[in-house]
Amino acid sequence: MAAVAPTLARRIARPGMLPLCSRPQAWGRAARQSPGLPRAPSLLLTQRRAFSNNKILVELDEGSGIATMKLKSPPVNSLSLDFLTEFCISLEKLENNRGCRGVIFTSAIPKIFSSGLDITEMCRKSTEHYAEFWRAVQEMWLRVYGSNMVTVAAINGSSPAGGCLLALSCDYRIMAENPKFSIGLNEAQLGIVAPFWFKDTFVNVVGHRVAERSLQLGCLHSAPEALRIGLVDELVPEEKLQDKAAAVIAQWLALPDHARQLTKSMMRKLVLDRLVAHREEDIQNFISFITKESIQKSLHMYMEMLKKKKG
């Protein structure tokens, strides 16, 4: 962990402190600026503001109000505690900026959107570490799924498990039309189980039957198959992905914010409230599950398999 990171991590994870997501988000937050006429972002003569931390590059186009969060944590954008902490801090900055109305999540790493939760964070660590890590995973989901902003995933690479969850939590998913890229909640293949809020998010996107089959088999779907089952909304050539994402956001932002935000809140509130109400219990469930010797063995074997595949 980088020198500064434990402090950042504690900001999110310290018990007794208000978690960041306790601020009202899609439910009960004032509407953002009035949208005005829809404008194509590329036609605007506007100022771009950029900020970054170690793992995420953020660029905000102040004219269109659209930000891009580029995940940049080599080799595979795995969602480590440090990464999740930096992600939530960057997203909070955008949430607090009333000029920012939409966010595109994409990757700066070729061929990989995100490889999901960092498996090493779940192997042979202390109970305190597991609690801190899992709270950060919850925080990422609560923030993205509950965001007032329009969120679009521009999926420019493979996106298993936690990477898929990030995409599923957005309002719209556009994937590069490369059949080698895959996406899905493949937890079962690792011998682990997607928690109820991963499952609920998935069901809300693809429906119960498709989700059940896909989750039980731990499927990773190729980009064309992901489109067919509704896991992503459209496929575009990779070079057009960012422009398409900006165009989609501009279209969504053309509607009055309060109507869109209240509708989003109505659609997502039940699922969000369920985790908020059972957050500590969910952390305890994670710890009981992940500390089982059989689960640790499964994760170890999976990591070995990844290494063998390489060499």
Determine the 3-state secondary structure of 257 from DSSP.
helix
Residue 81 and residue 122 in contact, taking contact as beta carbons nearer than 8 Å: no
Q: With respect to ligand L4XM7KOE, which residue has the nearer C-beta, 97 or 178?
A: 178
Return the number of the residue (48 or 292) whose C-beta is nearest ligand L4XM7KOE. Answer: 292
**Residue 43 in 3-state DSSP?**
helix
CA 253 to chain centre: 20
Alpha carbon distance, N-terminus to C-terminus of the chain: 27
Rule CB under 6 A: choose which of 19, 35, 146, 195 binds ligand L4XM7KOE: 195
Q: Are strands 234-236 and 111-112 parallel, antiparallel or unpaired?
A: unpaired
Residue 71 identity (one-letter amino acid): L
Helices 208-217 and 196-206: crossing angle in degrees, nearest 10, is 130
* Binding mask of the shown chain, residues 200 to 239, with x at each position contacting ligand L4XM7KOE by CB under 6 A: ----------------------------------------
Candidates 16-24, 55-63, 142-150, 189-197 — which segment interacts with ligand L4XM7KOE by CB under 6 A?
189-197
Burial class (CB in 10 A: 0-12, 13-18, 19+), 1: exposed
Distance (Å, whole) CA 217 – CA 190: 11
Among 27, 44, 204, 289, binds ligand L4XM7KOE (CB under 6 A): 289
Q: Which tokens in the block code for residue 47?
A: 């100022």
The reply on whether position 161 binds ligand L4XM7KOE by CB under 6 A is yes
| Region for residue 46 given its phi and psi (left: phi exceeds 0; alpha: psi -120 to 50; beta: otherwise) | beta
Determine contact, residues 183/158, Cβ cutoff 8 Å: yes
Which one among 58, 103, 112, 231 touches ligand L4XM7KOE, defined by CB under 6 A?
112
Return the number of the residue (26 or 192) whose C-beta is nearest ligand L4XM7KOE: 192
Region near ligand L4XM7KOE per CB under 6 A, out of 12-20, 37-45, 185-193, 231-239: 185-193
CB of 78 to ligand L4XM7KOE, least distance (A): 4
User: Does 78 contact ligand L4XM7KOE by CB under 6 A?
Assistant: yes
Here's the x/- map for ligand L4XM7KOE, 130-159, by CB under 6 A: it reads as ----------------------------x-
Give the rounded distance of the alpha carbon of 120 from its chain centre. Answer: 19
| Catalytic site positions | 117, 162, 186-187
- What's the closest the beta carbon of residue 115 comes to ligand L4XM7KOE, in angstroms? 3
The amino acid at residue 247 is A
SS3 105: strand
For ligand L4XM7KOE, the binding residue among 186, 214, 261, 265 (CB under 6 A) is: 186
Contacting ligand L4XM7KOE (CB under 6 A), which of 117, 215, 223, 226? 117
Smaller CB separation from ligand L4XM7KOE, 171 or 187: 187
Strand-pair category, 48-52 with 56-61: antiparallel
**Backbone φ, ψ for residue 246 (5° rounding):** -65, -40
Q: Which residues bind ligand L4XM7KOE (CB under 6 A)?
A: 75-76, 78, 112, 115-120, 158, 160-162, 186-187, 190, 192-193, 195, 285-286, 289-290, 303, 306-307, 310
